[in-house]
Amino acid sequence: MIWLNVVVQGVLIGGFYALFACGLSLMFGVLRVINLAHGDMAVVAGYVAVFLVPHFHLPEVWSFLVVVPIFAVLGYILQRTLIQKSIDRDPFTTLLVTFGLSVVIENLLLEIYSANGQSVNIGSLISQSWHPASIIYVSYVSLVVLGVAVLVLFLLQVFLSKTGTGRLIRAVADDREAAQLSGANYRHIFGIAAALAFATVALAGIAYGTMTQFAPTSGGVNLLFAFEAVVIGGIGSLWGTLVGGIALGIAQQFGAHFNPQYQILAGNLLFLLVLAVKPQGFFGRRTSLA
């Protein structure tokens, strides 16, 4: 029963990691850009939800209705300016630029909002949970986040495979030159992909704020978890990312069961182990290795 609880909690947190990771995966899959500021963008979304959304007389729970569209627009603009400019140089520059952004954002948040922890206020829901067996508690918040993660992955999948824009995105991801020759404006397509990625990262940031406290430095840790989920699941596979997130979550809960100090360490070790024995991840193709 103890082990069942470890698995249940791992699956719950794994859904959140997948939600966090799908934007990272999308940015790399389409733009070939690793956004090292990915985690910090989520934290910014959390701060917007906590400090700016209340001005609209909207409960913080519903803040995603405002923050997600704002971030989609922000993603499009950032892509068409800063990120596109660095893509035009080389992949090396995109890393330096997004790393610089990451450090600048983190320290700006630190200067403006101090290092104190913040959380998105969701009322009494935070403490409620479903209690199916003696020692198993399933928090409603985590369950909702897992549901949102699965829904977002499903919608992304449908969007990419069924709609015209989705097909264009995949075409540009597969072969940019060929898509351009067929008349696709790849910069605009890149912008749409970045808008989608930023929308999911905003959702992930708010979800994080509802589950636990966040601080300016939370971005880095979450980037690591998202990245580990992507690599464990297999680079380039959306559903693989969910499996990777869940595997990471279970490994962390397993470590935490022995000693809270081992929680993140166990996740990191699983990542290094996967890298050693199956570097293409559970569902990745060998060729898609970054």
Partner 1 sequence: MSDVLLPLNDDARVSVRRSTQSPIFTLVGAVILVALLTATPWIFPAQFASTLLNFFILVIMATMWNLLAGYAGMVSIGQQAFIGLGAYATLYFALEGVNPFVTVPISAIVCAVFAIPVTYLLFRLRGGYFSIATWVVSDTVLLYVGTIAFLGGGTGRLMPGLENLSPSETAHDSYLAAWFVALIVVVGTYLLLRSRLGLVLASIRDNEVAARSAGANVRSARRLVFMIAAAGCGAAGAVLAISQPFVQPTSVFSLQWSAEMIFVSMIGGLGTIEGPILGCIIFFALQQSLQQEGAWYLIIFGTVAVLVALWEPRGIWGAIRDRFHTELLPVGHWVREKSQGTP
User: If binding is defined by CB under 8 A, does position 26 make contact with partner 1?
Assistant: no
User: If binding is defined by CB under 8 A, does position 4 make contact with partner 1?
Assistant: no
Among 21, 41, 97, 250, binds partner 1 (CB under 8 A): 97
Cα within 13 Å of Cα(238), Cβ side = 20
User: If binding is defined by CB under 8 A, does position 36 make contact with partner 1?
Assistant: yes
Residue with Cβ nearer partner 1 (164 or 260): 260
**Least Å distance between CB 261 and partner 1?**
5
Q: Give CA separation, 193 vs 4, 59, 178, in Å.
A: 38, 29, 18
The dihedral through the CA atoms of 255, 290, 175, 183 has a sign that is positive
User: If binding is defined by CB under 8 A, does position 103 make contact with partner 1?
Assistant: yes
Residue with Cβ nearer partner 1 (120 or 264): 264
First to last CA, the chain: 39
**Least Å distance between CB 89 and partner 1?**
6
Burial 43-69 (b: 16+ CB within 10 A, else e): bbbbbbbbeebeeeeeebbebbebbbe
Residue with Cβ nearer partner 1 (61 or 95): 95
- Find the part of the chain contacting partner 1 (CB under 8 A) among 10-18, 50-58, 129-137, 217-225: 217-225
What are the φ and ψ backbone dihedral angles of 132, each rounded to 5 degrees? Answer: -75, -25
Among 6, 19, 235, 247, binds partner 1 (CB under 8 A): 235
Give the helix ranges, DSSP H, for the chain: 2-26, 38-47, 64-78, 84-89, 91-113, 140-162, 164-174, 176-181, 186-211, 218-233, 238-258, 262-277
Q: What is the largest CA-CA distance in the chain?
A: 62
* DSSP one-letter code for 90: -
User: If binding is defined by CB under 8 A, does position 91 make contact with partner 1?
Assistant: yes
Residue with Cβ nearer partner 1 (135 or 276): 276
Residue type, 103: V
Cα separation of 169 and 71, whole Å? 19
User: If binding is defined by CB under 8 A, does position 82 make contact with partner 1?
Assistant: yes
- Find the part of the chain contacting partner 1 (CB under 8 A) among 40-48, 96-104, 180-188, 197-205: 96-104
User: If binding is defined by CB under 8 A, does position 173 make contact with partner 1?
Assistant: no
User: What angle (nearest 5°) sits at the alpha carbon of residue 87, between those of residues 160 and 43?
Assistant: 70
Among 203, 264, 281, 283, binds partner 1 (CB under 8 A): 264
Sites of contact with partner 1 (CB under 8 A): 28, 33-34, 36, 82, 85-86, 89, 91-97, 99-101, 103-104, 107-108, 110-111, 220, 223-224, 227-228, 231, 235, 259, 261-262, 264-265, 268-269, 271-272, 275-276, 279, 289-290
